[in-house]
Amino acid sequence: MIGPHNIVLIPVVIGILAYFAGKLVRPVREGLTLLSSLFVCYVVLFKAGLNTIGIYTYNFSLPQYFDGFRFGNNGFSWYFAVIIAFSYLFVSLASFPLVKDKEYHGSFYLFFNIVAGALLGIVYSRDLVSFFIFWEIMTWSSYFLVVMNPNTKGKTGLTYIVFNVAGAYAMLTAMLIVYSYAGSFHFDRVVKAVSLMTNSTVFFISLLFAIGFLVKMATMPLHIWAPDAYTESEDSFTPFFSGTLSKMGVYGFILFFGMLIGFVNIKGVYEIKDTSLIGYIVAWLGVVTSVFATFRAIVQDEIKRLLAYSSIAQVGYIVTAMAVGTALGVAGALYHALIHSVIKLLLFITVAGVIYRTGKNKFSELGGLITRMPLSYLAVLFGIIGLAGMPPFGGFASKWVIYMSLIKNHYYFLLIGMIVSSTAAFLYCYKLIYGIFLGHPSSQGLMEVKEVPGFLWVPQIVLMMVLMLTGFFPGYIVPFIETAMKGIGFSVAFNSTSAYTLSAALGGFNGFVVINVLGAIFVFVFVWYTLFFPKSKRLHRLDIYWAAETPDENTPLHYGYGIGAELDRIPWVGMSLRTHITRFYEKTGEQISGIASVLKDVVFNGDGQIYMLYAILTLVSIFLLMGR
């Protein structure tokens, strides 16, 4: 019967099938992928059941040594499974037109399906080995999707693989240490074993786990791979990459620090401001990430690089919210994870459509597309309202919960750091929508551009609806979050009653009233303005106040892409833009390859006689060292 344990195989098998079947009939790939995504959505929503804590031991002929994989489903995995399933559906829909005539058409669908399967595996696995296996499959299959389009730099792929593999191996070391205490990899046995560990071991394994997950969430010191990887990965895969893959880091962090190791155990080790030292440091890393990444996002000229940095910043909020380990914080992190993946899916799909249609991906080359692509304009408008966290839509609700959690637990300085970055976020939100849609078209070609392909409309419209839904009923998601939290053993944080309101520790707000008031006023003023006033004249594009001069077709009027140039002059911000941590990593890289080449030339220097000398010397050393 289809359940959490074999839902994982469906996308992987279909991916492989699609690859080979597609060699005969090309559109089979799209059909199979769509089929598999629909089926996955169906199973995740209905078949897997909201909180069936079923454990499907799945001894598929593994050495008795591992006493079998275990899969299961509870509120927490269901919450993330829904995110994965729906983004899998939307991204596959969006990718049909975009990848149709690319030469890597086959391998795209192969690896895309494998990644989706791997994510489901991660979310449903109930023991460390299967968690790690699917984590590694996700790493290498997403690697192939990153390096797929030919015009990317080779360095991007290598940086991506080195960071992610290193993170995964850090996690593996911690798992092995836990295994040596627990004697088994299953979560329930692990939870018991962690409590009897000594403080220093708990600190060491939580440090290693933190590294593993922070690499995936691209938090500051470990984020080097993220901007390039997000920008240069295949356009239609980036929504899945930034929208869902980074959420696996969130899932892992909460699962391991919430349930397996338990915040209370880590707190016992070194405590600061009634949370664990590691949690506090990671929270500060999250804040630093969001501030640096936001300012870095503002000055970008490439659309996808701006969105990449914005993803890093937004995930930085999630890291801060959950790292301090309070119930409300984790709830805020879960809520923001959902909202952020909805927004990033919406924005990246639309941007991919725009790039597909115009062939340009820089703000300085675009502009004035609002008349040609109204639906995409609306989609990006909804997206930036959510990204900036403005009230009418869900973005505000999740940020509100995070702010409330930080205030309630007295982490004021963390909150101030977060405010700096969330206010600066308005700048890159405006730059995103101005650079592409408003202002003047930078080249004539942009005037004949058509709207994004039909397939993209479905995800765009549905995602817009979701954003409005979370705006109308901010409390609607709360029961799901609470079941998720109970799944990992956290107490209930909200005290909001109905779906309309969202209220927690210090206050609350009624999303329904906010939107109705906004809507009513808007309608009133709009009607009053359109009917009771003389119709305004439709001015020509160039009929603008240009200090009495007459701008012609090729005067550069699309100034908006330069937003952020003034940040250099602001002392603190300018300094943050100039510091690059990549230099540190390049130096270590050179160091290692320096050692490698010295070692290579010294040890293997090609002279047969020296090799014989090595043999004799080893013999002599064995005699001396072991002889007495």
Site for other proteins in 380-409 (CB under 8 A): 381, 385, 388-392, 396, 400, 403-404, 407
Contact present, 87 and 239 (Cβ < 8 Å): yes
Contact present, 244 and 250 (Cβ < 8 Å): no
> From the CB of 29, what's the least distance to other proteins, in Å?
17
Under rule CB under 8 A, which residues in 442-461 are in contact with other proteins? Answer: none
> From the CB of 257, what's the least distance to other proteins, in Å?
21
Q: With respect to other proteins, which residue has the nearer C-beta, 74 or 142?
A: 142
Q: Which of 278, 331, 338, 424 binds other proteins (CB under 8 A)?
A: 424
> From the CB of 471, what's the least distance to other proteins, in Å?
12
Please report, as a single letter, which amino acid is at residue 531.
L
Is residue 71 within a helix (H) or strand (E), and if so which, with residue range?
strand 69-71
> From the CB of 342, what's the least distance to other proteins, in Å?
19
Specify the stretch interacting with other proteins by CB under 8 A; choose among 215-223, 344-352, 461-469, 505-513: 505-513
Does residue 439 come out as left (phi exceeding 0), alpha (psi in the -120 to 50 range) or beta? Answer: left
CA–CA distance, 351 with 362 (Å, rounded to integer): 11
Binding mask 512-551 for other proteins (x = CB under 8 A): -xx--xx--xx--xx--xx-xxxxxxxxxxxxxxxxxxx-
Helix locations, 69-153, DSSP H: 75-99, 105-124, 128-146
By CB under 8 A, tell whether 316 contacts other proteins.
no
Q: With respect to other proteins, which residue has the nearer C-beta, 185 or 356?
A: 185
> From the CB of 605, what's the least distance to other proteins, in Å?
5
By CB under 8 A, tell whether 317 contacts other proteins.
no
Under rule CB under 8 A, which residues in 337-376 are in contact with other proteins? Answer: 368, 370-371
Specify the stretch interacting with other proteins by CB under 8 A; choose among 215-223, 349-357, 557-565, 580-588: 557-565
Q: With respect to other proteins, which residue has the nearer C-beta, 204 or 480?
A: 204
Specify the stretch interacting with other proteins by CB under 8 A; choose among 243-251, 261-269, 320-328, 414-422: 414-422
Among 75, 47, 73, which Cα is nearest to 481's? 75
Q: With respect to other proteins, which residue has the nearer C-beta, 103 or 448?
A: 103
> From the CB of 560, what's the least distance to other proteins, in Å?
5
Q: Which of 42, 270, 584, 604 binds other proteins (CB under 8 A)?
A: 604
Contact present, 401 and 335 (Cβ < 8 Å): yes
CA–CA distance, 193 with 182 (Å, rounded to integer): 5
Contact present, 452 and 376 (Cβ < 8 Å): yes
Under rule CB under 8 A, which residues in 200-229 are in contact with other proteins? Answer: none
Q: With respect to other proteins, which residue has the nearer C-beta, 454 or 556?
A: 556
Q: Which of 194, 337, 379, 415 binds other proteins (CB under 8 A)?
A: 415
Q: Which of 458, 510, 576, 577 binds other proteins (CB under 8 A)?
A: 510
CA–CA distance, 318 with 324 (Å, rounded to integer): 11
Specify the stretch interacting with other proteins by CB under 8 A; choose among 62-70, 187-195, 218-226, 313-321: 62-70
Does residue 394 come out as left (phi exceeding 0), alpha (psi in the -120 to 50 range) or beta? Answer: alpha
SS3 542: coil
Angle CA 257–261–263, to nearest 5: 55
CA–CA distance, 163 with 225 (Å, rounded to integer): 7
Residue 186 — φ and ψ, nearest 5°?
-75, 145
Applying CB under 8 A, the site for other proteins has a residue count of: 141
Under rule CB under 8 A, which residues in 137-196 are in contact with other proteins? Answer: 137, 139-140, 143, 147, 150, 154, 157-158, 161-162, 165-166, 169, 172-173, 176-177, 179-180
Pairing between β-strand 56-58 and β-strand 501-503 as defined by DSSP bridges: unpaired
By CB under 8 A, tell whether 43 contacts other proteins.
no
By CB under 8 A, tell whether 45 contacts other proteins.
no
Between the two ends of the chain, the Cα-to-Cα distance in Å is: 67
HEC per residue, 101-122: CCCCHHHHHHHHHHHHHHHHHH
Question: Which residue carries 């040609």 as its tokens?
Answer: 372
Dihedral over alpha carbons 325, 215, 294, 317 (to 10 degrees): -10
Contact present, 311 and 432 (Cβ < 8 Å): no
Q: With respect to other proteins, which residue has the nearer C-beta, 27 or 507?
A: 507
By CB under 8 A, tell whether 608 contacts other proteins.
yes
Contact present, 40 and 120 (Cβ < 8 Å): yes
Binding mask 558-597 for other proteins (x = CB under 8 A): -xx--x--xx-xxxxx------------------xx-xxx
Among 77, 118, 114, 112, which Cα is nearest to 93's? 112
Q: With respect to other proteins, which residue has the nearer C-beta, 46 or 63?
A: 63
By CB under 8 A, tell whether 624 contacts other proteins.
no
Q: Which of 46, 506, 578, 583 binds other proteins (CB under 8 A)?
A: 506
Write the burial class of residue 556 (CB in 10 Å: 0-12 exposed, 13-18 middle, 19+ buried).
exposed
Among 267, 307, 245, 261, which Cα is nearest to 88's? 245
Pairing between β-strand 275-276 and β-strand 271-272 as defined by DSSP bridges: antiparallel
Specify the stretch interacting with other proteins by CB under 8 A; choose among 36-44, 54-62, 214-222, 460-468: 54-62
Binding mask 116-135 for other proteins (x = CB under 8 A): -------------x--xxx-
Q: With respect to other proteins, which residue has the nearer C-beta, 338 or 573?
A: 573
Q: Which of 21, 45, 420, 469 binds other proteins (CB under 8 A)?
A: 420
